[in-house]
Amino acid sequence: MSKSKKTAPHRPASAYCPEPKGTLIAIGGHEQKSNEPLADDGGAEFATEGILKRFVDELRGNGPVLVIPTASEEPQEAGQDYIKAFGALGVERVEVLNIQTRDEANSEECIRLVDEAAGVMFTGGDQLRLTAILGGTELIRRLKERYAHSQFVIAGTSAGAAAMSTPMIYQGRNDAGFLKDEIHVTTGLQFMHDVAIDTHFVARGRIVRMAQIIATNPGCIGLGLEEDTAVVVTEGREMEVIGNGMVVVVDGRHCQGNTIHQIKPGEVFSIRNLQVDLLARGERYTLPVQEHQFG
């Protein structure tokens, strides 16, 4: 029996973005390891089946996989872990782009590797490092072009997933969110528009902080990705859940009683009639994406 498909209310085709030909895979962090408990992002001994296997299966052509560990405080270690992981999955060539400056992100060598690659993996760490170092660079511009016009795969885990969206959550304690201004957002790398991604979602109790993000911009859809769980997005809007946890979708477009604009910083906000969907592996959801230019 096929899984049910959740979909947003119908909107005219003109309201949707031009369909990118590439695939996005946003991972909630802590991808399953072989016969080991969940550990910090970037650990070795990845499972030969699961989310990373799906990433490899989505690749087209013979180009290398590029690993970008810019978000990580230990980029060399994170890069080597993914060389090992993808090698175990049969990827013959893995290149690590340990980009630490904007000049490096604008270099001809980086752009050449992007042009050759079949896909890219952004590791975990601090998503603000990704936007501050990579935002607006030739590297990101070329990745968007590849994503828009070819069967190119862009994946990110933890911080690498959070940075895909606009807006991007970059600060806020796990137990915070019900007081106005406890949560901070900025512009992400903008591979997905009008979507806010948060990771480690159930394990770290982040539903309230997502609710505040949606309260400040009810036109966005919130995607809360649990650990060892991911979404595969095709055509810029068709989303499939994979992995062993769940995805929490928070839709505030029909909310009522939203007080976030009326209260002072430090006060508790209210919001009613949020639609919340809990989606397990195999479920599908159509994102109500507005018209944007990807590349």
**Greatest distance between any 2 Cα atoms in the chain:** 56
Which CA distances in Å does 230 have to 10, 193, 282?
A: 25, 18, 11
Which is the catalytic residue, given 158, 165, 182, 226? 158
Q: Give the tens place of pLDDT for each residue, 2-21.
A: 455 555 444 443 334 569 99
**0.75 exceeded by the pTM?**
yes
Dist. CA 178–CA 167, nearest whole Å:
19
The rounded Cα 170 to chain-centroid distance in angstroms is 13
CATH number at residue 274: 3.40.50.880
291 within domain boundaries:
no
Which CA distances in Å does 73 have to 76, 129, 134, 159?
A: 9, 10, 16, 12
- Residue 201: CB partners within 8 Å, gap ≥ 6? 28, 207, 210, 224, 225, 226, 247, 248
- Reply yes or no on whether the pLDDT at 294 is more than 90: no
Q: Which domain holds residue 136?
A: 20-32+43-286
- Reply yes or no on whether the pLDDT at 219 is more than 60: yes
- Reply yes or no on whether the pLDDT at 266 is more than 50: yes
Are β-strands 229-234 and 23-27 bridged in parallel, bridged antiparallel, or unpaired?
A: antiparallel
Q: Which residue has the higher pLDDT, 188 or 289?
A: 188
158 is catalytic: yes
Which is the catalytic residue, given 31, 227, 240, 283? 227
Dist. CA 207–CA 135, nearest whole Å:
27
Phi and psi, residue 54, nearest 5°: -65, -40
200 is catalytic: yes
What is the reported pLDDT for 220?
Answer: 95
12 within domain boundaries:
no
143 within domain boundaries:
yes
What is the reported pLDDT for 263?
Answer: 97
- Reply yes or no on whether the pLDDT at 42 is more than 50: no
114 within domain boundaries:
yes
> Which sign, positive or negative, has the C-alpha torsion 199, 204, 205, 206?
negative
How many domains are there within the chain? 1
What is the reported pLDDT for 6?
Answer: 56
27 within domain boundaries:
yes
54 within domain boundaries:
yes
190 within domain boundaries:
yes
Which is the catalytic residue, given 72, 182, 200, 226? 200
Q: Residue 161: which of 234, 87, 226, 250 has the closest Cα?
A: 226
- Report, as an integer, the average pLDDT of 229-251: 97
- Report, as an integer, the average pLDDT of 281-292: 85
Q: Give the tens place of pLDDT for each residue, 120-168.
A: 999 999 999 999 999 999 999 999 999 999 999 999 999 999 999 989 9
